[in-house]
Amino acid sequence: MRTFKIIRPDETICPALTDKINNLTKPKGSLGTLEELALKIGQIQQTLSPTLQHPQNIIFAADHGIVEEGVSLSPKEITWQQISNFLHGGAGVNFLCRQHGFILKIVDAGVDYELPYDKGIIDMKVRKGTRNYLHEAAMTEEEMNLCLERGAEVVRQCHKEGSNILSFGEMGIGNTSSSSMWMTCFTGIPLEQCVGAGSGLNNAGIRHKYEVLKQSLDNYQGDGSPCNIIRYFGGLEMVMAVGAMLQAAELGIIILVDGFIMTNCILAAGKLYPEVLSYAIFGHCGDESGHKLLLDNMGVKPLLNLGLRLGEGTGAICAYPIVVSAVNMINEMDNFAHASITKYF
C-alpha cells in the first residue's frame, strides 16, 4: 500500500501567532472564527504571514455497483452526463469556481463510459465502476492502491502548479450509500442514522436504501480494518480523494473539505493517518441527514450551514472567502503599538 509521510504541524509557532492576532486593533477574540482560522493556517504554513495561492477544486468521478440495487433516485448515466455539464461550464461548481477564482480539474476515477479525454478530463480510470458490495468487495487491494496513488498524483501536479490550498469534490451516482457505509463502520453510529435521501429519495426510497445497505453490512466478511472497509464499501472516486487528501497533507497543502461524501473521505483518511486532520478546514454542514452527526462525532466545526447537498466541492468553495478573510485579517490589520491605540481589553 502507498505510504505517506504526514507530520502534524509544529505548535512552536502558535504563541507568536496568537500574540500577533491578539495585538491586532480589535478586542481580543472579537473576530471569532477568523482568528481560529488564521491561527490554524499560520501553523500549517509555519509563518506569521500566511498566503493562499492558486486555489483549485478537483472533482473525482466514478460509478458504483450498488446502484444496481435501486439505492439512488438518479440513474447511473447522470454521472457521465454531469461531467459533460462540467466541461461546458454549466454546473453549480462552475459558477462558483469562476466567482472565487478556482481552477477546476475533472478526474475520471472510474466512470462507466468512454469520456472525451481530449476535452480536458484527466484520465485516471481504474475500472468502469465498482463491484456491487451487496455481494462482494467494491474493489480489490490493487485497485484501492491504484486509486490512492492516482489521487496523490493529481495533487502533486497541483503542487507543482503553485497551489497551497485545494478543495475536493465528487461526482458518482450512489456515493452517498458508500459514504453511509464508511460512516457507520468508522464511527459506530447506527446505519439508520447514516442513511439519507441522497439525490432526492422519498421516505420509502430511503427505507429501501437502508435495507440494501443493512444487508450489505450483514454480508460483510472482512477483517474490519480501515483498509478493508475502505476497499470493500468505497467508491473509486472516494478512495482517490482519500489519496489526494493524504498527499495534500504530506505537502503541507490546506484541505478544504466539502459535504457528506468528502467528510467521509477525510474521516477515512484520518483512520489511516490521523495527522491529516490537522490540515483540514471544514467548509460547511450539508443537508444530507448524516452530515451533522458525522461532523459532531469528529468534533469539528464547519464554517457554513446553507442547506447545500449538491457535492462537487460547492460547499467548500462557498466557504473559501471566509478563509481569505482570515488570512487578510492577520496580514492587513494594524496592531495597537503601530497604530498608537491603547489596548482596550
The per-residue pLDDT for range 130-172, each reduced to its tens digit, is 999 999 999 999 999 999 999 999 999 999 999 999 999 999 9
Q: Which of 35, 170, 237, 312 does the annotation list as catalytic?
A: 312
pLDDT band at 189 (very low <50, low <70, confident <90, very high): very high
Task: Return the SS3 of 119.
Answer: helix
∠ CA 303-235-172, rounded to 5°: 70
pLDDT of the residue at 198: 85
Q: What string of DSSP letters covers 223-292?
A: ---HHHHHHHH--HHHHHHHHHHHHHHHTT-EEEE-SHHHHHHHHHHHHH-GGGGGGEEE-B--SSHHHH
Residue 161 is among the residues annotated as catalytic for this protein = no
pLDDT band at 345 (very low <50, low <70, confident <90, very high): low
The per-residue pLDDT for range 73-120, each reduced to its tens digit, is 899 999 999 999 999 999 999 999 999 999 999 999 999 999 999 999
The per-residue pLDDT for range 308-333, each reduced to its tens digit, is 999 999 999 999 999 999 999 999 99
Contact 4, 247 (CB under 8 A): yes
Whole-prediction pTM:
0.97
What is the average pLDDT value for the chain, to the nearest integer? 97
* 38/16 Cα distance (integer angstroms): 12
Domains defined for the chain, CATH in brackets: 11-50+329-339 (1.10.1610.10), 56-322 (3.40.50.10210)
The per-residue pLDDT for range 3-58, each reduced to its tens digit, is 999 999 999 999 999 999 999 999 999 999 999 999 999 999 999 999 999 999 99
Residue 176's identity, in one-letter code, is: T
Q: What string of DSSP letters covers 214-241?
A: HHHHHH--S---HHHHHHHH--HHHHHH
Residue 104's identity, in one-letter code, is: L
